[in-house]
Amino acid sequence: MGGAPSGIHVVGLAPGADLPGFRAAARRLIAAEIPPETIVWQTEAPSLFGADTAPAEGPPLRLPRAVTELIPMVVPHRDPERYGLLYALIWRVLHGERALMEVLSDPLVHRLHRMRKAIGRDLHKMHAFLRFRRVPGEGRERFAAWFEPDHHILEAAAPFFVDRFRALEWSILTPEGAAHWNGALSFGPPGRREDVPDGDGFEAGWRDYYESTFNPARLNLDAMRAEMPRKYWRNMPETAAIPALVRAASARARAMIEKEPTMPAKRDPVRAVAKMAQDEPNSLEALNAIIARSEPLVPGATQAVLGEGPVGARIAFVGEQPGDQEDRQGRPFVGPAGQLLSRALEEAGIDRREAYLTNAVKHFKFTLRGKRRIHEKPTAGEVSHYRWWLDKELDFVAPKLVVALGATAVLALTGKSIPITRARGPAEFGRPFEGFITVHPSYLLRLPDEAAKAVAYQTFVEDLRRANAMAA
């Protein structure tokens, strides 16, 4: 018992979701070429063997994006094998299986995907079923909520509530720890269910609203239990009304059926079509006003970022979505990728002021990590949501050539997911303008090797020269 047997490495991590500890451990283990089967990951209880003394942290790991995005979504899982599974994935990826995440039939990948889905479901339940209640007392209003997650998700879930209740002072108590917000987010020891009030004055009005919107004709008890498990009912004020609503549902549904139907008012189809045409924006300024008023599809963005450039521009450039700086300044392509694009345009002989620059998605989508807002790629559904705006925008600008910068722009312009390496160059978008496909400048920024980055940049400039020639 005086230490680990020869060849066994014991890694001690903090209880719960110790993402920084795992990252540091993985770096030094990979640097030392320690295989997964020789590692014991110690978390909740002391190991039979003494934990290794941690050497200096190893260099950063160059992992595919799919792996780096998976790790923080699996670390909060309650499975004690989670760290060993993630390290096994990293080991295999760095030892010749770079495309391992694409092999969904692989048992390791399949299991990790299931764990990620479980964390996603737990986060969704916490976002949907947590209810704040006013804490009685003098002074500034304070709110508290009790929640019992299935996994170690408190730190991952807290930024969601910061975004939505930034003006309030609140605490979220769980059996494992607590999150507190008073203008700054902090975490502390576990709380107790008894520390949260059973109700407050707001809940009576909320129950009245819930009862008034309850539709007895759509009652489905199985779906209700699946979507809103009973373990969360005690914390939700509306659930007190559910038993009575269920008992009365059959009678209310029959009354709705027996009620004499009313015929809809007749409409003049010619006038209706004319009204629809009148409501559509008739200029780029009117379209931009609609976009600026619209809420982001994924909450969090500061503002919509509109296109920039003259109507009638020879060339229009379509990117993916605004980044952090674009969201703050309200202008497209002003962050690091935009600065790189400006330099490339100048070298290619294109005056940025005479081109039109916009994005397929008009709002910044991000994941909050500490104080940093990390860009998150929009989904195909989100791209489709914004596509009508992009189509109208390009109709008003009427460019001779549209350059798609990256795969998301290609998806928005064609409705298809097309690899850039295969489609790079002149393209047909099925529109009255010519098309050209190239990489997004952010791709160049992500290249780790400086020599490769220089070659890729020159290729990008040459693409822009070809596009400029096509639009002449």
One DSSP character per residue, 162-207 reads HHHSTTS-EEEE-SS-EEEESSSEEEES---GGGS-S--THHHHHH
Which one has a higher pLDDT value, 391 or 206?
Answer: 391
Which of 124, 148, 174 represents a domain boundary (last residue)? 124
**Percent of the chain predicted with pLDDT > 70:** 79
- Tell me: do 92 and 111 sit in the same domain: yes
| pLDDT score of 79 | 95
- Tell me: do 287 and 396 sit in the same domain: yes
Q: Give the mean pLDDT of 393-420.
A: 94
Tell me whether residue 298 is in a domain.
yes
- Tell me: do 175 and 211 sit in the same domain: no
Lowest mean pLDDT among 15-19, 98-102, 239-243, 466-470: 239-243
Chain mean position to CA 355: 31
- Tell me: do 215 and 356 sit in the same domain: no
Question: What's the domain count of the chain?
Answer: 4
Q: Burial letters for 201-234: b for 16+ Cβ neighbours within 10 Å, e otherwise?
A: eebeeebeebeeebebeeeeeeeeeeebeeebee
Report the alpha-carbon distance of residue 428 to residue 412 in Å, rounded: 13
| pLDDT score of 140 | 75
Which of 97, 124, 151 represents a domain boundary (last residue)? 124
- Tell me: do 226 and 362 sit in the same domain: no
- Tell me: do 293 and 415 sit in the same domain: yes
The pairing of strands 170-173 and 178-181 is: antiparallel
- Tell me: do 393 and 297 sit in the same domain: yes
| pLDDT score of 390 | 95
Structure confidence by residue, pLDDT tens digits, 125-173: 899 888 888 888 756 788 999 999 999 999 999 999 999 888 889 999 9
- Tell me: do 211 and 165 sit in the same domain: no
Average pLDDT, the chain: 85
The CATH number covering residue 461 comes to 3.40.470.10
Residue 35 clears pLDDT 70, i.e. is over it: yes
The model's confidence at residue 53, banded by pLDDT at 50, 70 and 90, is very low
Dihedral (CA of 87, 88, 91, 93) sign = negative
DSSP 266-310: P--HHHHHHHHHHHS--SHHHHHHHHHHSPPSSTT-SS----BS-
Tell me whether residue 232 is in a domain.
yes
DSSP 241: G
Residue 47 clears pLDDT 60, i.e. is over it: no
Lowest mean pLDDT among 27-31, 45-49, 148-152, 276-280: 45-49
Residue 394 clears pLDDT 90, i.e. is over it: yes
**How many helices (DSSP H) and strands (DSSP E) are in the chain?**
17, 14
Written as six digits, the tokens of 104 are 């969904």
Tell me whether residue 149 is in a domain.
yes
Tell me whether residue 284 is in a domain.
yes
Structure confidence by residue, pLDDT tens digits, 250-276: 676 666 666 655 555 555 555 654 554
Residue 298 clears pLDDT 90, i.e. is over it: no
Residue 48 clears pLDDT 50, i.e. is over it: no
Cβ–Cβ under 8 Å, residues 115 and 79: yes
Tell me whether residue 264 is in a domain.
no
Range of the domain at 312: 280-470
- Tell me: do 378 and 441 sit in the same domain: yes
- Tell me: do 120 and 143 sit in the same domain: no
Tell me whether residue 80 is in a domain.
yes
Structure confidence by residue, pLDDT tens digits, 305-346: 999 999 999 999 999 999 999 999 999 999 999 999 999 999
| pLDDT score of 217 | 60
Tell me whether residue 231 is in a domain.
yes
Report the alpha-carbon distance of residue 263 to residue 204 in Å, rounded: 36
Tell me whether residue 266 is in a domain.
no
Which of 178, 195, 212 represents a domain boundary (last residue)? 195
Q: Give the mean pLDDT of 69-89.
A: 96
- Tell me: do 188 and 233 sit in the same domain: no
Residue 2 clears pLDDT 50, i.e. is over it: no
Q: Give the mean pLDDT of 275-289.
A: 77
**Percent of the chain predicted with pLDDT > 90:** 61
- Tell me: do 108 and 191 sit in the same domain: no
Q: Give the mean pLDDT of 84-107.
A: 95
Report the DSSP beta bridge partners of residue 330: none
Written as six digits, the tokens of 53 are 């003394």
